[in-house]
Amino acid sequence: MNVRGCRPISLLFVVGLLFVSRAVVSAQDGIYADFSTSMGNFSCKLEYGIAPKAVANFIGLATGQRAWIDSSGAASTSPFYNGLIFHRVIAGFVIQTGSPTGLGTDGPGYAFIDEFDSSLRFNSYGVLAMANSGQDSNGSQFFVTATNNVSSLNDKHTIFGRLVTGSNVVYAINHVATDENDKPQTNVIVQTVAIRRVGTAAQAFDINQQGLPTVTNLPVTIRPAISNQVALSFSRSPYSVHRVYSSTNFNNWDQEWSDTEYSAAKTNTIFLSTDAPQNFYSVAQASYFRSGIAPTNMLNHKLTLKITSGGSGTITITFDGSSGGKWSFAGSSGTLTSYTVIEGMLDGAYLWPVKFSNSTIYPLYIGLYFTSPTAGTFRGLAKNLALGTYFSIAGTFTFVST
């Protein structure tokens, strides 16, 4: 479940309950985000020690210190959030922003992994967290909760801060009139987001050392091809997403093509149809950090999953040299019906799904996050076949050759 699909829950908050004066907050070390909106100001303290990627990404976008891909395909360093609207407001639940189009379907042109920690929970009013469209799909959209407890979001959305001042403003935004799509009938605008660093540790936090994707534009060679087609040639970097945008007038741009390069740099030529006397093109690249410790396949390896959340026990999967393998769990064993490996770009690999020959062991949709070449943590979903529903599962793993 993601925050876009959640339903409203009852409001349990009393206005002013969590109000903390700016004088008190300013005396405490930390990194703060000060939001100026068309309905007033509020501030959040950012959890850079526990969710460093989310905080670094937010700071980089808010200040323009990290580039993002704008609607024309340009690598922009304009402050991302200035002028955006709260596109989704559900009374007693959340206020959400971070969508450049205001439709809730876009972001900065890249994604980064979830950061979950048992010390960060949706257990109070004013939790600041990343919106997403599924596992490891964080970008620019975020929300602030407007309820005291929404535990169903725990370990589904990365928490990276909490409200410290301006609870009355969040309450007011959360109670504006909305349409059938939960969009305010009168736009509520994020005017600016200012970042305050208080203390030595906060000053030392480096947003460029957190393994986030980097955005650049690529030189492109354009030449005519066959009738009504154009050939575009550009160099593709490994572990990068490439996007091609086109325009006939430099004002309105459309994304024409995108693809992901996993393993090797190469020069790519693509062919696009042209429907106007002249077309202009730009190519954007989002490159992902990868240290190279995660595998590109599972062949001839044994994967041992120790479940610590969403169940208990240990699943052992021995992959053979082709596309099959064997498994054992809780005294039962069998063969793999099928599995698909999606090579990750963040020192991970995704198994979506792993299906087993015995229906008592549920199909798994998990990400493997390597901390060494032979071990790490996993998280994802298991599917209850009888009910047709999914539930979260997580734990640790080992990965050794056979």
269 plus 193 within the same structural domain: no
Question: What CA–CA distances, in Å, run from 165 to 15, 23, 95?
Answer: 12, 10, 16
Residues contacting residue 256 through CB under 8 Å, at least 6 positions apart? 244, 245, 246, 272, 281
Residue type, 78: S
Same domain, yes or no: 148 and 235: no
Residue 129 lies in a domain: yes
Q: Is residue 221 part of a domain?
A: yes
How far is Cα 79 from Cα 59, in angstroms, rounded to an integer? 10
Residues 26, 87: one domain? yes
| Shared-domain flag, residues 189 and 40 | yes
- And the tokens for 366? 């998990």
pLDDT at 290: 78
pLDDT in tens, the chain (402 residues): 455 443 332 222 233 333 333 433 444 999 999 999 999 999 999 999 999 999 999 999 999 999 999 999 999 999 999 999 999 999 999 999 999 999 999 999 999 999 999 999 999 999 999 999 999 999 999 999 999 999 999 999 999 999 999 999 999 999 999 999 999 999 999 999 999 999 999 999 999 999 999 999 999 999 988 888 999 999 988 889 999 999 999 999 999 999 888 777 777 899 999 877 888 999 999 999 877 788 878 999 999 999 999 999 999 999 999 989 999 999 999 999 999 988 766 667 899 899 999 988 999 999 999 989 999 999 999 999 999 999 999 999 999 999
Asked whether residue 295 is domain-assigned, the answer is: no
Token code pair at residue 242: 């490439």
CATH number of the domain at 99, please.
2.40.100.10
Does residue 174 form part of some domain? yes
pLDDT score recorded for residue 294: 82
Evaluated on CA atoms 96, 98, 104, 109, the torsion sign reads: negative
Same domain, 156 and 30: yes
Q: What is the DSSP letter of 84?
A: -
Q: What letter represents residue 12's amino acid?
A: L
Q: In whole angstroms, what is the distance from residue 99 CA to residue 400 CA?
A: 42
My answer on whether 95 and 181 are in the same domain is: yes
Q: What is the CATH number of the domain that holds 266?
A: 2.60.40.10
Give 198's Cβ-side CA count (13 Å radius).
Answer: 16
Contacts of 367 (CB under 8 A, 6+ apart): 113, 135, 136, 344, 348, 349, 350, 351, 378, 379, 380
**Of 238, 264, 287, which residue constitutes the final position of a domain?**
287
Residues 128 and 15 placed together within one structural domain of the fold: yes
Tokens of 15: 């206005």
**294 within some domain:** no
- Which of 173, 192, 209 is the endpoint of a domain? 209
Whether 279 is in a domain gets the answer yes
Q: Is the domain of 166 the same as that of 60?
A: yes
Look at residues 62, 112, 57 and name the one whose alpha carbon lies nearest to residue 84: 62
State whether the Cα torsion 24-26-30-35 is positive or negative: positive
Name, in order, each residue with C-beta under 8 angstroms of 45's C-beta and a sequence gap of 6 or more: 25, 28, 30, 31, 32, 161, 162, 164
Residue 296, in any domain of the structure: no
**Do 161 and 241 belong to one domain?**
no
Choosing from 151, 177, 209, the residue where a domain stops is 209
Report the domain count for the chain.
3
Neighbours of 334 (CB within 10 A): 14
In this structure, the answer to whether residues 32 and 139 fall within a common structural domain is yes
Task: Tell me which residue range forms the domain holding 12.
Answer: 3-209
- Asked if the structure places residue 223 within a domain, the reply is yes
Do residues 185 and 198 both lie within one domain?
yes
> Do residues 18 and 161 both lie within one domain?
yes
